[in-house]
Structure 1
Amino acid sequence: MLYDQYADYALRVATVITKNRMYAADAVQEAFIRVYSNIHSFDEDKPFEPWLYRILINECNRILKNQSKTIPISNYLESHPPIIEEDAYHFQEYEELYDAIKGLEDINKVPIVLKYLKGFTELEIANILELNVNTVKSRLFKGREKLRKMMRKFDEGRNQNEKKL
């Protein structure tokens, strides 16, 4: 089943984009509804994943756009996201990197996630985001540079904390 095969990673990608587990779950659900509703228009000669992720990213963007029109139930939920259950892929080992990725602007974060967490090629990312391939390459380059700077800051902070001990 498509949902069983792609839902976990789709949720991770959506969580990085929306920065909110509940919004991400909504985006994934809506994306799969759209996939099933429009499966007849899918070109079977093309890979499925880029098509799915284009739909998912569009849903994430739609939810984020509508987010400003809603009133939050509680400021607590915004400042304290729900606890994420144990991750089968052990992403907690990469917590600093994940935090750095979350700190990127969407313009760099989305291509980074699609390239390095999902393994899409630059051409596939360009098709998903409906951008020029060179634009994708530029955003990936700038995103990697920003990540390097953030990771250096994490290292410097960790080294200063170790010196204090």
Structure 2
Amino acid sequence: MVDQEIRLIKKIKKGNQQAFKKLYDSYADYSLRTAYAITNNNSDASDIVQETFIKVYRNIDSFDIRKPFRPWFYQILVNESRRYMKKKSKEDISIETERLLDHLNHQTEEERDFEQLETAMEQLEEHHRTVLILKYLNGFSEKDIAEVLELNVNTVKSRLYKARQQLKAVIGGVADE
């Protein structure tokens, strides 16, 4: 996959749009899931992924072909998610109560468990939520996460530990209610 990806990126750098489409196809689903996990909103996630791919396309020439592409891509995705969320938090957003209640009334137990996890994740600080998403949703190693977030590996390990502890406390607290 790595050699194939390098060839693909070389083609993209030369302006091959079919190669970019292949790259998009291979990263779109996971990037959408990651953005959704960060924002908890399908529309926002789609916007973030679209902006991410635009930035990747515009900046592909600055990508160092000797380094792995995946961490570089996810660094752009995470930064774009943060930028978007910061912008969004400045706006006044109201929850559509009727739609939410309707949704809650028609959920299966598995959906409720997943929603409980989502709610717990939302209660975590953004930097803790992000490391959990990269680790468990995207399967990144601590070293890859450190590269994506431009952190020391020990900082990543510490954040993962603290995030898991906070998540346990929040889920435990929710289960006890």
Q: Would you say same fold, with TM above 0.5?
A: yes
Distance 2:98 2:75 in 1: 29
Among all aligned residue pairs of Structure 1 and Structure 2, give the percentage whose two residues are the same amino acid: 47
Per the alignment, residue 14 of structure 1 pairs with: 35
Give the alignment's TM-score, normalised by structure 1. 0.77
Distance 2:135 2:157 in 1: 10
Contact 1:16 1:102 in 2 (8 A): no
Distance 1:29 1:35 in 2: 10
1:38 corresponds to 2:48 = no
How many aligned positions are there? 147
Per the alignment, residue 161 of structure 2 pairs with: 141
Determine which of 124, 127, 138 is the counterpart of 2:147: 127
C-alpha displacement at 1:117, in angstroms? 1.1
Distance 2:64 2:139 in 1: 21
Which deviations, in whole Å up to 9, do the C-alpha atoms of 1:58-117 show, x marking residues without a partner? 111111222244455xx2449957x8xxxxxxx848503333223311121000110111
Q: How does 1:16-165 map to 2 (within 5 A)?
A: 16-70=37-91, 72=93, 75-77=94-96, 92=111, 95=114, 96-157=116-177
> CA 1:53–1:78 in structure 2 vs 1: closer, same or farther (change >3 Å)?
farther
> CA 1:2–1:69 in structure 2 vs 1: closer, same or farther (change >3 Å)?
same
* Structure with more helix by fraction: 2
Distance 1:104 1:39 in 2: 33
Give the alignment's TM-score, normalised by structure 2. 0.72
Contact 1:27 1:56 in 2 (8 A): yes
Deviates more, 1:17-26 or 1:29-38: 17-26
SS of alignment partner, residue 66 of structure 1: helix
Q: After the TM superposition, which segments of 4 or more aligned residues of structure 1 sit over 6 Å from their partners?
A: none
Structure 1 unmatched ranges of 5 or more: 84-90, 158-165
